[in-house]
Amino acid sequence: MLYYLFTYLDQQFDFPGAGVFQYLSFRAGAAITLSLLIAAVYGRQIIDMLRNLQIGEDIRDLGLEGQMQKRGTPTMGGFIILASLVFPTLLFAKLTNVYIVLLLVSTIWTGMIGFLDDYIKVFKKNKEGLQGKFKVVGQVGLGLIVGLTLYFNDHVKIRVYKPGVIDTSIGQIENGAFQDIKSMSTTVPFLKNNDFNYSSLLPDFIPDEYTWILYVAIVIFIITAVSNGANITDGIDGLAAGTSVIIGLTLGVFAYLSNNKPLSQYLSIMYIPNSGEMVIFCAAFVGACVGFLWYNSYPAQVFMGDTGSLMLGSIIAVLALATRKELLIPVMCGIFLVELVSVIMQVSYFRYTKQKFGEGRRIFLMSPLHHHFQKKGYHEAKIVTRFWIVGIILAVITLVTLKLR
């Protein structure tokens, strides 16, 4: 909103200083600053409100050290992230940008799914929360919205170079030029000439116009997997929020490079018109998560609940899809992936051994993986710090793929 106001003041009245809103760097800096302030200043008020409403976490005794001391800690703290993210984005981003609209819809959509889950747990006293099938329906619905928008919206394009040609009939040379085209190409890491089009996955007997079905199915899978991975990672103080900060910074770099002509040409990556606005969103996202960590770091004064964790995962998935970096998710979101896989392995192996031997056996002392290390006697603050370090290493590897091919 402020972008349009100051653009108008600059164009109509030459208002002093209004021109700075044309700079992406200024708006990104303003967004991260405001999101930090909202989380830090109003976070305490939201926590007090949650405590007054007796919205406390009902901790199940899993035999983990210090676990029962957290009983009654306010949950639904994801609203701190939601408010700290949405308001700066509304103020400083271009609200007509398709990527910003899509990210705001994703944020509110999964935030509401998580809220329903937390509401059922807290007020209906149902520890299972929202049934899994309803969560999946919500995630599939978001996947449909995101997939169909990215595939069919006319403003979602990439810019390619069309070489010049010689027309021998008239003896003229047509100069090469850049052209914006609709394409479902994505980036394959570690390979030269690494643009990959999803239509190549279709059998020869299926026309290319049906690529949208395959693409939407892939988008649904990615959003569901990443949001559930973030949800499972949210198990000890500061882990999910801190990991999301690292991933958000990485995606912000990709969004900036994808909208910078000289750098995108130098790095041989896709130029995505209008993707620079996602830098504003990434800045607000990082600021909101860092501000939330002020209250969520050990010992946590508030838990984000599913209101926050499902939202974080969906945002990360949509950002990766919009910047055409979804194939880097296994590396970039390696923490989420390992946590999710540890649960799948534990449950699958337990069921298999119970069926075969009559007694269920386990791979880990407890899943997700962070609980395994708690069972081994590591303090949760040490676990979180080391997971962050691994997340930073994975982020560096992800960025290195820009040149290492």
pLDDT digits (tens, 9 = 90+) for 29-88: 999 999 999 998 899 998 888 888 767 666 565 666 666 666 778 888 899 999 999 999
- Whose tokens are 């010992």? That residue is 299
- What is the C-alpha to C-alpha distance for residues 144 and 157, in angstroms, rounded to an integer? 19
pLDDT digits (tens, 9 = 90+) for 340-359: 999 999 999 999 999 988 88
pLDDT at position 187 over 60: yes
Q: CA 334 → CA 1, 121, 351, 365, 395, distances in Å?
A: 36, 29, 26, 21, 9
Sign of CA dihedral 280, 143, 150, 254: positive
pLDDT at position 182 over 60: yes
CA nearest neighbour of 229 among 335, 304, 121: 335
Q: Is-contact 271 342, C-beta < 8 A?
A: no
Q: What is the dihedral of CA 199, 137, 89, 244, to 10 degrees?
A: -80
- What is the C-alpha to C-alpha distance for residues 244 and 320, in angstroms, rounded to an integer? 13
User: Annotation-wise, does 61 bind a ligand?
Assistant: no
* Number of residues that this document lists for the chain: 405
What DSSP designation does 176 have?
P
Question: What does the pLDDT read at residue 61?
Answer: 55
3-state secondary structure of 182: coil
φ, ψ for residue 282, nearest 5 deg: -60, -40
Question: What does the pLDDT read at residue 58?
Answer: 61
User: Annotation-wise, does 306 bind a ligand?
Assistant: yes
- What is the C-alpha to C-alpha distance for residues 220 and 199, in angstroms, rounded to an integer? 17
Record the pTM: 0.92
Q: What is the rounded average pLDDT for all residues in the chain?
A: 87
CA nearest neighbour of 312 among 30, 77, 57, 147: 77
Name the β-bridge partners of 117: none
My answer on whether omega of the bond before 368 falls inside 30° of 0, hence cis, is yes
- Of 170 and 325, the one with more pLDDT: 325
| Burial zone of 403 (CB within 10 Å; 0-12 exposed, 13-18 middle, 19+ buried) | exposed
Q: Which residues contact 68 (CB under 8 A, 6 or more apart)?
A: 59, 61
Q: What is the mean pLDDT of residues 254-260?
A: 93
CA nearest neighbour of 369 among 324, 338, 348, 394: 338
